[in-house]
């Protein structure tokens, strides 16, 4: 026979135990939440207007996408209309220039997709520029850039020209090169109509409220004298373009002054750095991962592989103590192949995390992806450590620095 009193007592006990367990769980969760490191949260301090976020897709042409986004932003800053300029116009013409130089140097040049900001400014000076709607440059059946095939074919073609057994180059090889480029990118228009007016590529460039000769590049390394021009020794600088060498503090000063005045900054950097997290759209350089880990994670650090260490860095959350960057650290990383020019972007503003640490807001060219829809946040130490070069309008350079480099 059922003992209803016992049943009710047991049920009451179970209820009490359940409620007690729930209370403990909630208490533990609250305690964990209080002790857990929060995600980074950014407050934008200064943000300058930009054109649309672009997508370079499967092409190594960040140098072109970032430089043209920079120029588009500059056009708006100068009072011009928002426009979308053709990246593939520049890429097609620069590929031609690079191929010719590669053959002239008997193959002793980097015949690859990489480039530099001055490729774009010099390309516009020589070839002009056209709107995106005039020259999409996608003549191979896709709606976004996919360069695996074209890069392989171009490299094979110029190698064949160099290795030919004729003893000298024929008069046909330039025509062959142009035929390949036209097949993939499309025939270049000599004239076009844009918003009811006829232009040539050069006259369209001349109609813009910005001039390419007004842009200047800076870097910061100690193996060349400060305040002088030098050719930065990286494979992607196939054009052998020169830039001015400045102390790190003065290069950083230019960036802040430029952003504060409402201009963007074209930024060449190294996103192979362990502290860059593409998924979270942030770049940091933790002072010491051990100091940002707790408990058993910190104890195990010395036993981890490099891949495991990088994963730990990527999983760090919230404000963290970062390295203090020196000129010597930058140089050592460059000399030891720890820093390279592997990505170009546009710095468009400044921001702070919830602890007040300074960051830059950056426009990327990987589409409207990630938590910030195509924008990324990089800490000041990351900028100081991993900047290869910057390009700015020369009017943004403080007068005392212009005087030091011998310009007015």
Digit-coded pLDDT (tens) for 115-137: 999 999 999 999 999 999 999 99
Q: φ, ψ for residue 165 (rounded to 5)?
A: -100, 15
| Residue 7 pLDDT | 31
Question: Number of helices (H) and strands (E), helices first, in the chain?
Answer: 13, 13
The size of the chain, in residues, is: 408
Whether pLDDT at 29 is above 90: no
List the beta bridge partners of residue 47. 349
CA distance 139 to 172: 23
Q: φ, ψ for residue 47 (rounded to 5)?
A: -140, 130
Q: What does the pLDDT average to over 256-282? A: 96
Those residues with Cβ within 8 angstroms of residue 273's Cβ, 6 or more apart along the chain or in another chain: 283, 285, 339, 382, 385, 386
Residues 131 and 194 sit within 8 Å (Cβ to Cβ):
yes
Closest C-alpha among 408, 247, 268 to residue 341? 268
Tokens encoding 380:
């000041």
CB atoms inside a 10 Å sphere around CB 42: 17
What phi-psi label fits residue 295: left (phi over 0), alpha (psi between -120 and 50 degrees) or beta? left
Residue 87: its H or E element: helix 87-104
DSSP string, 241-280: -EEEE--HHHHHHHHHHHHHTT--EEEEE-TTSTTEETTT
Alpha helices in 290-373 (DSSP H): 295-300, 306-315, 327-335
Please state whether beta strands 358-363 and 276-277 pair in parallel, antiparallel, or not at all (unpaired).
Answer: unpaired
Strands (E), 322-401: 343-353, 358-363, 375-379, 387-393
Query: Per-residue b/e over 247-273, b at no fewer than 16 CB within 10 Å?
Result: ebebbbbbbbbbbeeebbbbbbbbbeb
CA distance 343 to 337: 15
Residues 272 and 261 sit within 8 Å (Cβ to Cβ):
no
pLDDT > 90 in the chain, percent: 80
Q: What does the pLDDT average to over 256-277? A: 96
Domains of the chain listed by start with CATH number:
42-285+322-404 (3.90.70.10)
CA distance 92 to 129: 12
Residues 109 and 120 sit within 8 Å (Cβ to Cβ):
no
What integer best gives the mean pLDDT of the chain?
89
Read off the pLDDT band of 318 (50, 70, 90): confident
Whether pLDDT at 10 is above 60: no
Q: Distances from the Cα of 370 to the Cαs of 76, 276, 365, 380, in angstroms? A: 26, 13, 12, 21
Tokens encoding 262:
């409402």
Digit-coded pLDDT (tens) for 275-291: 999 999 999 999 865 45
| Residue 301 pLDDT | 52
| Residue 5 pLDDT | 36
CA distance 323 to 253: 19
Q: What does the pLDDT average to over 246-262? A: 98
Q: φ, ψ for residue 28 (rounded to 5)?
A: -65, -40
Read off the pLDDT band of 395 (50, 70, 90): very high
Q: φ, ψ for residue 208 (rounded to 5)?
A: -75, 150
| Residue 39 pLDDT | 83
Place of tokens 């800053």: 77
Helix orientation angle between 62-77 and 87-104, rounded to the nearest 10 degrees: 130
Q: What pTM was computed for the model?
A: 0.87
| Residue 3 pLDDT | 37
Q: φ, ψ for residue 278 (rounded to 5)?
A: -65, -35
């Amino acid at each position: 026979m059922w003992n209803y009193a016992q049943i009710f007592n047991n049920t009451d006990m179970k209820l009490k135990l359940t409620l007690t367990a729930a209370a403990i769980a909630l208490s533990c969760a609250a305690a964990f939440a209080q002790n857990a490191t929060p995600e980074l949260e950014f407050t934008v301090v200064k943000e300058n207007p930009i054109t649309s976020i672009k997508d370079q897709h499967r092409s190594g042409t960040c140098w072109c996408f970032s430089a043209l986004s920079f120029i588009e932003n500059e056009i708006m800053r100068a009072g011009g209309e928002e426009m979308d300029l053709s990246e593939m116009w520049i890429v097609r013409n620069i590929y031609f220039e690079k191929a010719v130089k590669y053959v002239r140097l008997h193959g002793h040049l980097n015949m690859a997709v990489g480039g530099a900001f001055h490729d774009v400014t010099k390309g516009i000076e020589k070839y002009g520029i056209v709107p995106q709607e005039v020259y999409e440059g996608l003549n191979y059946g896709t709606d976004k850039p996919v360069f695996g095939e074209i890069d392989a074919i171009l490299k094979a073609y110029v190698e064949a020209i160099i290795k030919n057994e004729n003893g000298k180059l024929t008069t046909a090889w330039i025509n062959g090169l142009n035929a390949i480029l036209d097949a993939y990118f499309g025939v270049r228009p000599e004239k076009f109509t844009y918003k009811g007016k006829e232009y040539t590529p050069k006259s369209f460039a001349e109609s813009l409220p910005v001039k390419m000769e007004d842009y200047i590049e800076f870097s910061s390394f100690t193996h060349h004298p400060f305040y002088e021009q030098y050719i930065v020794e990286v494979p992607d600088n196939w054009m052998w373009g020169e830039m001015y060498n400045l102390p790190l503090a003065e290069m950083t000063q230019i960036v802040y002054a430029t952003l504060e005045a409402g201009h963007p900054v074209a930024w060449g950097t190294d996103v192979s750095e362990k502290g860059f997290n593409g998924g979270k759209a942030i770049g940091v350089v933790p002072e010491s991962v051990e100091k940002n880990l707790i408990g058993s994670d910190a104890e195990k650090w010395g036993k981890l592989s490099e891949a495991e260490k990088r994963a730990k860095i990527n999983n760090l959350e919230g404000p963290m103590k970062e390295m203090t960057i020196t000129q010597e650290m930058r140089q050592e990383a460059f000399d030891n192949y720890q820093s390279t020019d592997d990505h170009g972007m546009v710095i468009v503003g400044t921001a702070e995390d919830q602890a007040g640490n300074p960051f830059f807001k950056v426009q990327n060219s990987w589409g409207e992806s990630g938590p910030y829809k195509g924008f990324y946040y990089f800490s000041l130490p990351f900028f100081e450590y991993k900047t290869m070069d910057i390009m700015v309008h020369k009017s943004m350079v403080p007068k005392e620095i212009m005087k030091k480099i011998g310009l007015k």
